[in-house]
Amino acid sequence: MIYITDGSFEGILTAVFEAYDRKEEPEAIVCGDVCQMQLASEIREIVTDESKSDRVYRAIAEKMSGESLENLYRAFLSEHPDCGIYIYRYIKVGLKVGRRVTSYLQNPDVLRINDLNYKVSAECHRFLGMLRFKKTRSGIFYAGYEPDHNITMLITDHFAERLSDQPWIIHDQKRDIFALFNTEEVVFSKGLPLSICEAGEEEEFETLWKRYFKAIAIESRKNPKLQRSYMPRRYWKHLIEKQP
């Protein structure tokens, strides 16, 4: 049995509810638009239902812990194609062992969620440092990036607190999701409506930063392999210091 959802977290939790309710063991929980029909498997379409997903949500929080809930949500944001079924299996284990599920690292189903959660958290931390803002002519600071995982909503609090007196936009160009901060609150939306025009002073600061980046490296210790291991090449496109 394959469950097809709308791809939202609530959709997956509804699917978990249905599986328990119908006493079924789904072999996959997939998002509608990526589903490739497998021959000879039955399909059930899941209609996202908040009252059902809420019950699963509360069961996780009460029988496991807030930490489990966070781990599951971050694993969901990894956008791994199998994360639906991984979430289902983790919940199944968690409902058996309770709070201890976060320590149950020898269990492959727990480990899978932990691994996804680790990847997403690591990328979040990386972008707290590697995001680069450019000042635009309108005075808004704009940061475009292309993260592996859907992390935009996980990193905005950090910047709202830190850069609280400047309006900014963080734009996930891969998913065309953006967060806009107007110095009061963060608003999320899809499809960036405006085009980005750099302010006149921008080139000066970018040149200064590039110069600093070059000057701070010790020539006789050059180590490009080590550099890439921390700052993989796929991220360079948006790093000013890595532009010629």
What H or E segment, with its residue span, contains residue 148? none
Closer residue to other proteins in complex, CB, 76/141: 141
CB-count burial class (<10 Å; 0-12, 13-18, 19+) for 91: buried
Supply the minimum distance, in Å, between the C-beta of residue 164 and other proteins. 6
Measured from the CB of residue 107, what is the shortest distance to other proteins in angstroms?
Answer: 8
Q: Which is nearer to other proteins, 37 or 216 (CB)?
A: 216
CB 193 to other proteins: min, Å: 23
- Is the CB of residue 26 less than 8 Å from the CB of residue 15? yes
Q: Which residue's CB is nearer to other proteins, number 195 or number 230?
A: 230
For the bound state, the minimum distance from the C-beta of residue 232 to other proteins, rounded and expressed in Å, comes to 10
Q: Which residues bind other proteins (CB under 8 A)?
A: 97, 100, 103-106, 108, 111, 125, 128-135, 141, 143, 158-159, 161-166, 205, 207-209, 211-227, 229-231, 239-241
The CB density around residue 203, as the number of other CB atoms within 10 Å, is 10
Of 100 and 174, which has the nearer Cβ to other proteins? Answer: 100
Structure tokens at 23: 């006493």
CA distance 204 to 193: 27
Q: How far is the CB of 10 from other proteins (least distance, A)?
A: 30
Question: In the chain, how long is the greatest CA-to-CA distance?
Answer: 66
Q: Are residues 142 and 168 in contact, defined by beta-carbon separation less than 8 angstroms?
A: yes
Cα end-to-end distance, the chain, whole Å: 53
Shortest separation between residue 31's beta carbon and other proteins, angstroms: 27
Nearer to other proteins, 52 or 171 (CB): 171
Identify which of residues 54 and 202 has a Cβ nearer to other proteins in the complex.
202
Strand partners, 127: none
Nearer to other proteins, 52 or 132 (CB): 132
Q: Please report how close the Cβ of residue 196 comes to other proteins at its closest, in angstroms.
A: 14
DSSP 59-127: HHHHHS-HHHHHHHHHHHHTT-TTHHHHHHHHHHHHHHHGGGGGG-TTSHHHHHHHHHHHHHHHHHHHH
* Rounded Cα gap, residues 225 and 56, in angstroms: 45
